[in-house]
């Protein structure tokens, strides 16, 4: 068992690639955190597990500055999971505003109902139970267990992956997908004591967000720059650049336009009106040319999760062929 663990666990006095003992690196990062951490509301002493959970969902692929105001309003309107569970999907999506990936709002809503119905209205503390909630994956389950409940779990997010890739592997950026080696490294770095592990998780993540950034890292401000394998190697460029996300001319773009129209609506939106509004949008001027991308499955499922890919593809094909007329039998409305 122990013999199979990574070097740093086998030998606490082991050194990082650039020479500093792992213990020193951990202490330096945590110390830096104490003096440089942002004062975020979901870290405040009066935070609640529910507030932490909401923040983690909102922060997925979304900058802190944009989450802040939405999080405040959200917690004020729905202070507990049961409060959100009782809301209508339409209200939930509207309150989500323009955070993006609105399906997160719907999944959070579903998670709230699950918490109300199966966990007595309390956010579960157990990692496995958190993982079972809609919209909560490996990262978020660990994050809530750690940041809301103070447990010892290895948190691995994009910041932590990047910091550890640079510090210990000498690479500018981690691989596209999480590797077993990365997980093993992160596990091996986690302090044994609970309090120390929580602090380490939080500190490394913050370091990645404020100093060891993806674009222009501020190595001059880094508390462990002298131990960084990447810096020592001359800060070599990334080996493979990440793929961009398709947007123009895709139904994803049209989905965004649809969301914009429906978000601003107070009453149900008749489809003809929706199409009229969309006609003037940039989305339809790109790619398709007609209002086509108003995919049937998207129309009927706007406030739910997307329909199966095959169904969407078929619907899109049909609309492209028949144009506006074909969309007539697809109703658009806001539930509740």
Partner DNA sequence: CAAACGTGGGA
Partner DNA sequence: TTCCCAAGTTT
State how far the Cα of 112 lies from the Cα of 162, in Å rounded to an integer. Answer: 32
CB atoms within 10 A of CB 114: 18
3-class DSSP state of 215: coil
**Catalytic residue (choose from 31, 56, 129, 240):** 56
Positions touching DNA (CB under 7 A) are 40, 42-43, 55-56, 59-64, 66, 98-103, 107, 134-141, 143, 157-159, 162, 176-177, 205-206, 208-209, 213-216, 241-247, 250-252, 255-257, 259-260, 263, 305-306, 308-309, 312
> How far apart are CB 135 and DNA at their closest, in Å?
5
> How far apart are CB 218 and DNA at their closest, in Å?
11
Using alpha carbons only, give the angle 88, 92, 93 rounded to the nearest 5 degrees.
120
> How far apart are CB 314 and DNA at their closest, in Å?
14
State how far the Cα of 241 lies from the Cα of 42, in Å rounded to an integer. Answer: 33
- Six token digits for residue 159: 């910041």
State how far the Cα of 271 lies from the Cα of 269, in Å rounded to an integer. Answer: 6
Concatenating the DSSP letter of every residue in 110-165 gives HHHHHHHHHSTTS----HHHHHTSTT--HHHHHHHHHHTT--------HHHHHHHI
Whichever of 99 and 319 has its CB closer to DNA, that residue is 99
CB atoms within 10 A of CB 167: 27
> How far apart are CB 308 and DNA at their closest, in Å?
6
Q: Is 240 a catalytic residue?
A: no
Concatenating the DSSP letter of every residue in 36-62 gives H----GGGSTT--HHHHHHHHHHTTTS
> How far apart are CB 16 and DNA at their closest, in Å?
22
Kindly list the catalytic residues: 56
């Amino acid at each position: 068992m122990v013999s199979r663990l990574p070097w740093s666990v086998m030998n606490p006095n082991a050194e990082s690639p650039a020479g500093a003992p792992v213990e020193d690196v951990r202490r330096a990062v945590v110390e830096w955190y104490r003096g440089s951490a942002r004062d975020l509301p979901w870290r405040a002493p009066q935070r609640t597990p529910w507030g932490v959970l909401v923040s983690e969902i909102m922060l997925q692929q979304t900058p802190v500055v944009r989450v802040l105001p939405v999080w405040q309003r959200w917690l004020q309107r729905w202070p507990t999971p049961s409060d959100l569970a009782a809301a209508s999907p339409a209200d939930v999506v509207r309150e989500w505003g323009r955070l993006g990936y609105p399906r997160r709002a719907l999944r959070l809503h579903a998670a709230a109902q699950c918490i109300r119905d199966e966990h007595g209205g309390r956010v579960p503390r157990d990692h496995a139970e958190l993982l079972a909630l809609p919209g909560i994956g490996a990262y978020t389950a660990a994050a809530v267990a750690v940041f809301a409940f103070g447990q010892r779990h290895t948190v691995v997010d994009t910041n932590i992956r990047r910091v550890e890739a640079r510090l210990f592997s000498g690479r500018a950026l981690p691989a596209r997908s999480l590797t077993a080696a990365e997980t093993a490294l992160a596990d091996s770095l986690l302090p044994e004591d609970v309090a120390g592990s929580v602090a380490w998780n939080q500190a490394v993540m913050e370091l990645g967000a404020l100093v060891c950034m993806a674009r222009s890292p501020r190595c001059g401000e880094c508390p462990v720059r002298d131990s960084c394998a990447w810096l020592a190697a001359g800060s070599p460029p990334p080996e493979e650049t990440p793929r961009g996300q398709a947007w123009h001319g895709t139904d994803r773009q049209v989905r965004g336009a649809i969301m914009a129209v429906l978000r601003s609506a107070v009453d149900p939106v008749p489809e003809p009106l929706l199409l009229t509004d969309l006609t003037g949008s940039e989305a339809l001027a790109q790619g398709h040319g007609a209002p086509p991308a108003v995919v049937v499955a998207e129309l009927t499922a706007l406030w739910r999760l997307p329909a199966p890919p095959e169904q969407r593809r078929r619907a899109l094909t049909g609309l492209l062929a028949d144009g506006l007329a074909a969309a007539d039998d697809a109703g658009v409305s806001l539930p509740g």
